[in-house]
Structure 1
Amino acid sequence: SLEPTLLLELESDQSGRSIYELYLKVFRGLLEATDNQESVVAELANAWGMALYPLEQANALRSQSALDSLSEKGFYLVVSDKSVSALLRAPTGEIYRVVFPEPFSLISWPVLGLLIFGLLASIYGLVAVFVQGYERKLLSVETVAARISRGELDARVKISNDGNESVERLGTAFNAMADHIQRLMLVQKEMIHAVSHELRTPVARIRFGVQMIEDCFDDASRQKQIKGIDGDIQELDELIDEILTYARLEQGGPILSFQHANLFDIVYQVVDEQSVGKPDLEI
């Protein structure tokens, strides 16, 4: 029988059929070196992970090629895509059938599953890296937007030329929007200060004119004050028109909204409104 401490090392620069032939030569050599073939056969089957049993049916030797190979080499090897088997002739003349483990195949389901899993894992890793880069840049845009909402109008997105053209375009558009908003807010503040200053003068004159009307004792003086108040009101109307025109220009031009209307209904409405204040007026 085989020694428990026996270590057998095989080296070969060949593969495929030659490796199986090398195995069979080693088995034949081990059978020649022992007197207890049954024990050696059992230990070989257990140690090498293969089926090794005596041939009981003689019809397996009807092939002339099998007989020639057994007489010449001492074994007959049959290699296919799905299995590898052989006939081995012992020195005593007994024929053994050797069934090797299923050969390794790249098309087997475990290997395909492993390849698919590796491919999916690689794709997931690439997508994760790609998405994390985009998420980091979008987070910077979100941070700047939050700062602007808190009143930091000078906050801007840092544009980094790292190849992400879509994020760069988004950052550029966001900065342009922030610049426009900041300019509108500045113009609005300036306009509010200017309007408050410009409105004080005509309002003060109107208040003064109303007080003067109370002290007037004749129609001529009263009409003079009323005329002055009317001129101040006209100045207020012109100032308001200028402010509205300026606001429309800041919005990029007038926005036209068309709708169908009945002209007769509008005229009748104007006539009715004027008739209430001046019933003797004929239109």
Structure 2
Amino acid sequence: MRRLYISIILTVIGSLFIITWGLDKIVAKQEPEQAQNEYAIYQQLIEGFDSQLSISSTEELATLSEALSEAYQVTLLLDKSENIALPSELSSKLTQMGGLLLASETQPYLLKKLSGHPDYIIQLSLPAVEIENQNINILLTAILYLGVCLILLIWLFPLTRRLYLLTNTAASIGEGHLNARVPASRFSYISLLESSFNRMAAQIEKLVADNKILARSMSHDIRTPMSCLRFGVEAAMDTKDITKKNVYLARMETELTRMEDMTTAFLDYAGMERQGFHLKRELISINHLLETINADFQSLADQHAVILEYQVSAEFIKQDVRLSLDFHWCYRAIQNLLSNAVQYAQSTVTLSAYCQNNFLHICIEDDGKGIPPESIDSIFSPFVKLDADRSRELGHFGLGLAISEKVVHWHDGSIHAKNRAELLTSTMKNAKETTQLIKEVTGACFIISLPLQAEKKIL
């Protein structure tokens, strides 16, 4: 911070010095012209004296020059030309209009050779130039520079304070405190940088947390197939029965397949963060996307004896809402939610969409047993499985909802889950009617909310 202060102050002070030095040079060049303008009246006056003295006789010159000096209240002297020692280039200017302007140590004066008497020269003393007080100038200059420095320090203090906090926060994150953030301030000059830094820190914290969960889950889940493989190897080596040996080898192959599927799923999830930087966005009709997903999942719904319905209003279809999305990943996010809904539903799964408060809301509802209230906050965490029956041996690793949340986050949206009974409680006003319906209604509802951007089109 000290280097920042010094560099800015030196830059500003140096700039002021160069600017004032240049202005002084310009003023110095203009001073002779200003002096000529100030003494123009005296040059006219000496021309008048020359006219009057030139028509007089030589004997009357001294008396007339004294009379003119008293009449005009000026100092007018008469002298012989031979008594004035001047260089030849200046001597030639004694006859010019307005005379020759010279200056002594005390005051300036004009010299003029009389037109009618070339042997004589008149000298007209001019008012003395007022010498400016140099001490006051120095004091004012010092006040100027000190004032500029003080203003700079006042302006720099909030900036350097925020930079200091940013540096400390970065150092704290480097030491392992991943939850450290730069506190927000409306007086900050670098609020955009601070918000970007906080977003980066949040992404790093989430990435590290996901990697820890991944490592912990893999280390836990890989032990069972490893133990089965070791048991199978030992059993195959000990038995001499070819049939049993083949059975053990078949089991080992099955366990290897499960390990391969598990590792592939875990590594795919770990590499998803890179996919978020390479989205292939395009304008997509939301109604077309949902109709496609609904048609593709009819066969899965038939396998589970579930009715899959797509419900939207005629107005929504007419609006033809279009958003800039990655079709593949959005399809996959909704697919994960629909797959869970179809497998948990008793008879019906509903896919719907509507626009409200500048957001597009996509809802997936089922009439299954719902979500335990204590698990709603953690349902989108990776490797979380609410149903113990859906084991990893069947290919369920608890990543579907986590992937959906990531995809929605990539598109600046949000996703949350509620039980259908909870939704009814927030919409129904009649307490008795609500209580009766809650007893009858079961199932879960997942809602994806995406911001309506400028790409939205209303046809």
Could you state the TM-score of these two structures normalised by the residue count of structure 2? Answer: 0.33
Whether the 8 Å CA contact 2:107–2:126 is kept in 1: the answer is yes
Write the distance in 1 (CA, Å) between the matches of 2:268 and 2:63: 108
Aligned equivalent of 2:216, options 189, 193, 196 = 193
Counterpart residue number, 2:168: 143
Secondary structure at the counterpart of residue 136 of structure 1:
helix
Write the distance in 1 (CA, Å) between the matches of 2:222 and 2:140: 80
**C-alpha distance after superposition, 1:104-142 (max 9, x if no partner):** 45xx98877665554444333323332333111100111
Letter in 1 for 2:240: F
Tell me, yes or no, if structure 1 residue 103 matches structure 2 residue 126.
no
Write the distance in 1 (CA, Å) between the matches of 2:64 and 2:139: 41
Task: Report how many residues are paired.
Answer: 178
Write the distance in 1 (CA, Å) between the matches of 2:219 and 2:206: 20
Q: 1:124-273 residue pairs with structure 2 within 5 A?
A: 124-162=149-187, 164-165=188-189, 167-253=190-276
**Identity among equivalent pairs (%):** 23
**C-alpha distance after superposition, 1:44-98 (max 9, x if no partner):** xxxxxxxxxxxxxx9698164422256xxxxx479x9x87689xxxxxxxxxxx9
Shift of 1:99: 9.5
Shift of 1:246: 0.2
User: Alpha carbon RMSD of aligned pairs, Å?
Assistant: 3.8
**C-alpha distance after superposition, 1:165-224 (max 9, x if no partner):** 4x1111111111111122122222222221112101111100000010122112222122
More strand by share: 2
Whether the 8 Å CA contact 2:169–2:182 is kept in 1: the answer is yes
Write the distance in 2 (CA, Å) between the matches of 1:60 and 1:255: 105
Secondary structure at the counterpart of residue 251 of structure 2:
helix
Which structure's CA Rg is the greater one?
Answer: 1
Q: 1:44-83 residue pairs with structure 2 within 5 A?
A: 62=65, 64-69=67-72, 76=74
Could you state the TM-score of these two structures normalised by the residue count of structure 1? Answer: 0.52
* Consecutive unaligned residues in structure 1, runs of 5 or more: 1-57, 71-75, 87-97, 257-283
Write the distance in 2 (CA, Å) between the matches of 1:254 and 1:117: 55
Write the distance in 1 (CA, Å) between the matches of 2:224 and 2:197: 41
Secondary structure at the counterpart of residue 222 of structure 2:
helix
Structure-2 change in CA distance of 1:112 and 1:221 (3 Å):
same
Shift of 1:101: 6.5
**C-alpha distance after superposition, 1:244-273 (max 9, x if no partner):** 1101113344879xxxxxxxxxxxxxxxxx
Whether the 8 Å CA contact 2:214–2:270 is kept in 1: the answer is no
Write the distance in 2 (CA, Å) between the matches of 1:172 and 1:77: 78
Write the distance in 1 (CA, Å) between the matches of 2:277 and 2:163: 35
* Consecutive unaligned residues in structure 2, runs of 5 or more: 1-60, 77-100, 110-124, 280-459
Structure-2 change in CA distance of 1:228 and 1:154 (3 Å):
same
